Amino acid sequence: MKGKIGLRSLIGWVILASLGTVAFTLWHALSPVSGGKNPAVKPDIAADLKLDRVHYTETREGTKEWELEAASAAYYRDQETIVLEKIRGTFYGKNDERYVLVGERGKFNPKTKLIEVYDGVKVDSSHGYHMRTMSLQYRADQRELSTSDPVEIQGPNMQVKGVGMVVELNRERLRILGGVTTTLSSLDWKKSSRPAM
């Protein structure tokens, strides 16, 4: 009788230890990684809804403000987040100005209308300017595109490099936040915002 109780206790401890290991593994896998800018992507089985080839249009008072397309989308209800792959967005400014954004991955919060795009981000404006960076955010409430990453902008006869950028769509204004270096190719002349030593 004593032997049977010992065996049952041993089996119970093994089961509890296994459950603990599984719980820790799931917790570790689903916890967001701190310090990274890339969106936390859950396994496909955790998504509440998955769609291919999605298209979303946002209008205000009958005027189109932006459009968003993606090759695939996975919706996670608990985080109010849609994880996107192969993204293309078009943002409309004043006077028919358009900014076309592409990126490999990102996420969209349908409640706050916050769009975040990562990996190989490119933005091309209808006025002939091309911007490259690692990540970009669009805040619908402020009508702004922004990043804190290094950026490179090329336009007619010029190239601008810096760190951090804000594009105010309503005012059609672009600001580079720091470390700005401008190259004017037609003059083969460089101008830097950094003070001379």
Q: Give the pLDDT confidence score for residue 105 in this predicted structure.
A: 95
20 found inside a domain: no
pLDDT digits 0-9 by tens, 40-91: 554 445 777 888 899 988 888 888 889 999 999 999 888 889 999 999 999 8
As given in the structure block, the two tokens for residue 173 are 């204004």
pLDDT at 166 over 70: yes
66 found inside a domain: yes
128 found inside a domain: yes
Q: The dihedral of CA 104, 106, 108, 112: what is its sign?
A: negative
Point out the least confidently predicted range of 59-73, 101-115, 175-189: 175-189
pLDDT digits 0-9 by tens, 10-32: 455 445 444 444 444 434 444 34
23 found inside a domain: no
**175 with 166: CB under 8 angstroms?**
yes
Question: Which pTM was predicted?
Answer: 0.67
Domain count, the chain: 1
Range of the domain at 69: 44-192
175 found inside a domain: yes
Instruction: Please report, for the domain that includes residue 106, its CATH number.
Output: 2.60.450.10
For the residues of 11-73, what is the DSSP string, one character each? HHHHHHHHHHHHHHHHHHHHSPPTT--SPP---GGG-SEEEEEEEEEEEETTEEEEEEEEEEE
pLDDT digits 0-9 by tens, 138-165: 998 888 989 999 999 998 888 999 999 9
